[in-house]
Amino acid sequence: MTEMVTWTCTGCALLCEDIQVSISDNRIEHVENACMKGKARVFGCKEQAVPTIHGDKADIDDVIKDAARILRDAKNPLLYGWSNSTNEAHIAGIELARTLGGIIDSTSSFCQGITVNEILSGSVPSCTLEEVREKADVIVFWGADPMSSHPRHMSKYSYFPRGELRQRGYEEDRTAISIDVWQSRTAKICKNGFHRIPPGKDAEFMRGLIEALSGRVPKLSFDYDVKRILELAATLKKAEFGVLFAGLGLIYSIKEDITLLSEFTAALNQFSHYSLIPMAGHFNMRGFNHTLHEKTGHIYRVKFVDGKAISGVEYSVIEQMKRNADAVLVVGSDPLASLPGSISKRLKDIPLILIDPCMNLTSRVADVTIPCSTSGIEAGGTAVRMDGKTMDIHALVQGNNMSDEKIIERIIEEVG
CB of 247: closest distance to other proteins in angstroms? 9
Would you say 21 or 127 has its CB closer to other proteins? 21
Would you say 235 or 324 has its CB closer to other proteins? 324
Q: Cβ atoms within 10 A of the Cβ of 185, count?
A: 14
CB of 269: closest distance to other proteins in angstroms? 27
Segment contacting other proteins (CB under 8 A): 85-93, 141-149, 288-296, 325-333? 141-149
Which of 8, 10, 175, 184 forms a contact with other proteins (CB under 8 A)?
A: 184
Segment contacting other proteins (CB under 8 A): 167-175, 179-187, 206-214, 289-297? 179-187
Rounded-to-integer distance, Cα 380 and Cα 392, Å: 8
The site for other proteins, by CB under 8 A, has a size of 59
Rounded-to-integer distance, Cα 326 and Cα 103, Å: 11
Which string of x and - marks every residue 192-231 that binds other proteins (by CB under 8 A)? ----x-xxx-------------------------------
Rounded-to-integer distance, Cα 245 and Cα 144, Å: 7
Segment contacting other proteins (CB under 8 A): 157-165, 265-273, 356-364, 373-381? 356-364
Which of 106, 117, 149, 369 forms a contact with other proteins (CB under 8 A)?
A: 149
Under rule CB under 8 A, residue 284 binds other proteins: no
Which of 7, 41, 107, 290 forms a contact with other proteins (CB under 8 A)?
A: 41
Q: How many Cα neighbours within 13 Å face the side chain of 139?
A: 32
Which of 122, 307, 341, 416 forms a contact with other proteins (CB under 8 A)?
A: 341
Give 256's strand partners. none
- Among candidate residues 77, 82, 81, 80, the one with its CA nearest the CA of residue 101: 77
Report whether 409 contacts 372 (CB < 8 A).
Answer: no
Q: Residue 301, exposed/middle/buried by CB under 10 A (0-12, 13-18, 19+)?
A: buried
Under rule CB under 8 A, residue 40 binds other proteins: yes
Rounded-to-integer distance, Cα 325 and Cα 311, Å: 15
Plot region of 44 (φ>0 → left; ψ -120 to 50 → alpha; else → beta): left
Judged by CB under 8 A, the chain residues 291 through 330 that form the site for other proteins are 301, 313, 316-319, 322
Q: How many Cα neighbours within 13 Å face the side chain of 68?
A: 17
- Residue-by-residue DSSP string for 75-123: SSEEEEE-TTS-HHHHHHHHHHHHHHT-EEEEGGGGTTHHHHHHHHTTS
Under rule CB under 8 A, residue 236 binds other proteins: no
Which of 217, 337, 389, 392 forms a contact with other proteins (CB under 8 A)?
A: 337
Under rule CB under 8 A, residue 32 binds other proteins: no
Report whether 268 contacts 274 (CB < 8 A).
Answer: yes
Residues that bind other proteins (CB under 8 A): 35-37, 39-41, 43-47, 109-110, 114, 145, 147-149, 151, 181-184, 196, 198-200, 248-249, 252-253, 255-256, 281, 301, 313, 316-319, 322, 334, 336-345, 348, 358-361, 364-365
